A and B are shown apart, each in its own frame.
Chain A
Amino acid sequence: MPAKQLTPEIEAWIEQRWSRFPEGAAGKALTLGVLYQAQEAFGHVDTEVIDLVATRLGLTAAHVRGVATFYTMINPREVGRYHLQVCTNIGCMLEGAYKVFEHCKARLGVENKETTADGNVTLSEVECLAACGYGPVAQIAEKGKPEIPLYFEELDLETVDKILDGLEKGEVPTELGR
């Protein structure tokens, strides 16, 4: 397999941002942004991606690894095509978020942060998504489709079933989201 390379989009992004930071600080300042985009391109952030990012930005691999492991949105392992994130924090909990989350677990046959055997859906329990008045809230991200992250609000089990049916068929029921 040829060695991984940062995509032209990421290269262009780095180019464009570099001058927004003071001399000598740009490489480090771009760590989070490049890591995230690398994850979008490669699916997850493993040692190879960490080395790639470190080399490109002129940083040590230790620094990049330290950053990658600190933030929860960086996945060290492959996630499913769809990443279903259910908020169970206080606002959503008061609206029955745990029922929603347990239902997702049961239907998908996975525990928190696990992926279905067919690699289709990863389920995560997440903290407050800043939509607390409209709970229970879930967010779905689709790999390779940065426009997809959609919020699904005021979820009941019926809507959850429709969403999961959609994901099984390979489509996000965007009409149910906002």
Chain B
Amino acid sequence: MGVFDLKIISKHFDDPQARHLDHYETHGGYRMAKRATTMAPGDIHGEVKTSNLRGRGGAGFPTGVKWGFVPKDAETVYLVVNADESEPGTFKDRHILHWNPHLLIEGMIIASRSLRVHNAYIYIRGEMQREYRILQDALDQAYAKGYLGKRIFGSDVDLDVTICRGLGAYICGEETALLSSLEGGRGWPRLKPPFPAVKGLWGQPTIVNNVETIANLPWILEHGGQAFADVGVGRSGGLRLVSVCGHVERPGVYELPLTVTGNDLIDICGGMREGKAVKAVIPGGVSMPVLTADELDVPFEFDALQNDARIREVETAPGVKFDLGGNRTLRTMAGSGGVVVMDETTDITMAAWRILHFFADESCGQCTPCREGTGWLTQVAHRVAFGHGRAGDVELMASIADGIAGNTICALGDAAAWPTLAFITKFRQEFEDKVKNSLAHSPSAPSGTGAQAAGAS
């Protein structure tokens, strides 16, 4: 399995020297950035299109297609790298920033050349204070060498890269909220369309790409878009960084072929801890619908997770499929590559509550269905999980979630609704048993606290 030996992004993870420019150049770094400055922008774009690179931030949208939405006659175009990584379960971008910041910078130079960008920004999550410093050091080194600034690499191309730091708001990972925040305002998402590629930062065409997406570009330029496409499968090129947490022997970040299934992934992570059985796996960050143990033979690849008939469709009530619109149903999605593995001892109702609690906290409050719905959902999920459930609570959760989905400005609403419906569809009995149990016991117990969650998990 030669493809398992290939590393596009993670080759130098865990090597503290790798973040220094000298070391990076010893291993061939910045050659592709330099080459890019001598290439025609359209040729770079061509390679990216051929590569089948798909966005690693969550939606899996083809990067070459997205870049093509920028109006041809645009005078000012911005590139914004989304380094806000805050989708629970996801911790791969932080590894890139931490171990290989120059790879991101080189990718940005390539993207900027292709998109005719002269001002690029990195929006980094506020909590990542160490990574901010690492990245700023790397930028300073690149400026000192003339790889950024005026006439980079001696060409006639100018490029400035500026880091902007978030201040603690999950919603700022959503691209339009990110732009609002970068402009210096509250992180409020905007209605799409217009899409940022047409009207983004300060009203100008703006490409927002995830850190990992951009970090693939040096390899694509070096080996060609076709080679990248060949490494992948179907309409998805390249490898993928997967971050695995939860009840496996060796959690961590792995760079893997897209053919790897959920079961393979657990094996690669050394199997389940203490030989326990797997109960549930979230494949792409907590926004994505959960999978059960018998749905793990499907590759963790964008299209497979959406379409493979071995994955059960999410329902709003037993037998009633959730309608994604356009005659599509919802299975799950590869999302951010954040994989959460839960073993047989996990209380699914508790997991569902904690995830909903997160979304309720992070809702920006602009749309009523999201603001009210996530709060209400959390309340009901809490009482179910902590043993004070009431008759009809499971149906109530499903109907609140159904009322949020598709009715909000941004996808945070869906991100709360979809996993809720999936948990209920696939673990309904567990929710109902919890409610039945609490009805059988004292109905007037005090409300639960975190301490009880600890006991239960």
Contacts and interface: CB of A to CB of B under 8 A. Distances in A.
Interface residues of B, number: 61
Contact of A132 (B247, B338, B351): B338
Contacts of A146: 129, 133
B89 A132 contact: yes
B165 A36 contact: yes
Contacts, number: 155
Contact of B286 (A90, A98, A149): A90
Contacts of B451: 98, 102
A29 B182 contact: yes
Nearest to B172: A71
Interface in B271-312: 282, 286
Interface string B44-78: 00000000000000000000000000000000100
Contact of B165 (A33, A63, A128, A131): A33
A133 B91 contact: yes
A165 interface: no
Given A94-B457, A96-B457, A71 B129 contact: no
A130 B128 contact: yes
Interface in B162-204: 162, 164-170, 181-187, 202
B338 A25 contact: no
Contacts of A141: 129
B88 A128 contact: yes
Interface string B237-253: 00000011111000111
A71 B185 CA distance: 10
Interface string B147-162: 0000000000000101
A22 interface: yes
Contact of A130 (B85, B202, B252): B85
A134 B94 CA distance: 13
B437 interface: no
Interface centre among B252, B362, B450 (most CB of A within 10 A): B450
A102 B450 contact: yes
B375 interface: no
Interface string A97-112: 1110110000000000
Interface stretch (B102-110, B325-333, B353-361, B398-406): B353-361
B361 A130 contact: no
B162 A20 contact: yes
B245 A127 contact: no
B29 interface: no
Contacts of A33: 164-165
A127 B166 CA distance: 14
B86 interface: yes
A66 B457 CA distance: 38
Nearest to B128: A130
A141 to B, nearest CB: 7
Interface of A: 17, 20, 22, 25, 27-33, 35-36, 63, 66-67, 70-74, 88-91, 93-94, 96-99, 101-102, 125-135, 139, 141, 146-147, 149-151
Interface of B: 76, 85-91, 93-94, 119, 125-130, 133, 160, 162, 164-170, 181-187, 202, 243-247, 251-253, 282, 286, 338, 340, 342, 346, 350-351, 354-355, 358, 361-362, 450-451, 453-454, 457
